[in-house]
Amino acid sequence: MHDPASTQHRSGGIPPLALETDVLLRELSHLHRTRHETFLYGSEEALHRHTLRTGQLEDEYLRRFPLRQVTAGRTRNGARAREAAARAEAHPE
Protein backbone atom coordinates (compact mmCIF):
# COMPACT_ATOMS: atom_id res chain seq x y z
CA MET A 1 0.00 0.00 0.00
CA HIS A 2 1.31 3.47 -0.92
CA ASP A 3 1.79 5.87 1.99
CA PRO A 4 1.50 9.45 0.64
CA ALA A 5 3.07 10.85 3.82
CA SER A 6 6.31 8.97 3.11
CA THR A 7 6.81 10.32 -0.40
CA GLN A 8 8.01 13.69 -1.60
CA HIS A 9 5.78 14.90 -4.42
CA ARG A 10 6.68 17.13 -7.37
CA SER A 11 5.59 20.17 -5.39
CA GLY A 12 8.41 19.40 -2.99
CA GLY A 13 6.50 18.15 -0.01
CA ILE A 14 4.13 15.72 1.59
CA PRO A 15 0.58 15.94 0.21
CA PRO A 16 -1.29 18.53 2.28
CA LEU A 17 -4.09 16.08 3.10
CA ALA A 18 -1.54 13.82 4.83
CA LEU A 19 -0.21 16.57 7.12
CA GLU A 20 -1.25 16.83 10.74
CA THR A 21 -2.84 20.21 11.44
CA ASP A 22 0.10 21.48 13.51
CA VAL A 23 2.51 20.56 10.69
CA LEU A 24 0.24 22.20 8.12
CA LEU A 25 0.24 25.42 10.15
CA ARG A 26 4.01 25.30 10.64
CA GLU A 27 4.58 24.76 6.91
CA LEU A 28 2.24 27.62 6.01
CA SER A 29 3.99 29.90 8.46
CA HIS A 30 7.37 29.03 6.96
CA LEU A 31 6.16 29.62 3.40
CA HIS A 32 4.63 32.96 4.32
CA ARG A 33 7.88 34.03 6.04
CA THR A 34 10.00 33.07 3.01
CA ARG A 35 7.73 34.42 0.26
CA HIS A 36 9.33 37.84 -0.14
CA GLU A 37 12.87 36.48 -0.36
CA THR A 38 11.82 33.81 -2.83
CA PHE A 39 10.00 36.40 -4.93
CA LEU A 40 12.98 38.76 -5.02
CA TYR A 41 15.87 36.33 -5.30
CA GLY A 42 14.60 32.88 -6.24
CA SER A 43 14.82 31.35 -9.68
CA GLU A 44 11.67 31.11 -11.79
CA GLU A 45 11.45 27.44 -10.85
CA ALA A 46 11.81 28.22 -7.12
CA LEU A 47 9.13 30.90 -7.33
CA HIS A 48 6.83 28.56 -9.26
CA ARG A 49 7.28 25.75 -6.71
CA HIS A 50 6.85 28.17 -3.79
CA THR A 51 3.62 29.51 -5.31
CA LEU A 52 2.33 26.01 -6.03
CA ARG A 53 3.10 24.67 -2.56
CA THR A 54 1.66 27.73 -0.82
CA GLY A 55 -1.56 27.37 -2.82
CA GLN A 56 -1.81 23.66 -2.00
CA LEU A 57 -1.35 24.23 1.72
CA GLU A 58 -3.68 27.23 1.84
CA ASP A 59 -6.36 25.27 -0.01
CA GLU A 60 -6.00 22.43 2.51
CA TYR A 61 -6.23 24.86 5.43
CA LEU A 62 -9.42 26.38 4.01
CA ARG A 63 -10.85 22.89 3.42
CA ARG A 64 -10.24 22.00 7.06
CA PHE A 65 -11.37 25.35 8.46
CA PRO A 66 -14.10 26.72 6.18
CA LEU A 67 -15.54 28.76 9.05
CA ARG A 68 -12.22 30.26 10.14
CA GLN A 69 -12.37 33.52 12.04
CA VAL A 70 -12.25 36.55 9.79
CA THR A 71 -11.28 39.82 11.43
CA ALA A 72 -13.70 42.60 10.50
CA GLY A 73 -10.81 44.94 9.72
CA ARG A 74 -9.55 42.51 7.04
CA THR A 75 -12.73 42.77 4.97
CA ARG A 76 -13.59 45.31 2.29
CA ASN A 77 -16.05 47.02 4.65
CA GLY A 78 -13.41 47.13 7.39
CA ALA A 79 -10.89 48.71 5.03
CA ARG A 80 -13.42 51.35 4.00
CA ALA A 81 -14.15 52.11 7.65
CA ARG A 82 -10.41 52.54 8.36
CA GLU A 83 -10.05 54.88 5.38
CA ALA A 84 -13.05 56.94 6.48
CA ALA A 85 -11.68 57.17 10.02
CA ALA A 86 -8.28 58.26 8.71
CA ARG A 87 -9.87 60.96 6.53
CA ALA A 88 -11.96 62.21 9.45
CA GLU A 89 -8.88 62.35 11.67
CA ALA A 90 -6.85 64.20 9.01
CA HIS A 91 -9.62 66.75 8.42
CA PRO A 92 -11.52 67.34 11.66
CA GLU A 93 -14.49 69.67 11.41
Nearest one of 21, 17, 18, 16 to 5, comparing CA atoms? 18
Section 25-45 average pLDDT: 97
Q: Above 50 in pLDDT, residue 5?
A: no
pLDDT band (50, 70, 90) for residue 10: low
Question: pLDDT digits over 46-74, tens only?
Answer: 999 999 999 999 999 999 999 998 888 88
Residue 82 CA to residue 37 CA, distance in Å, equals: 30
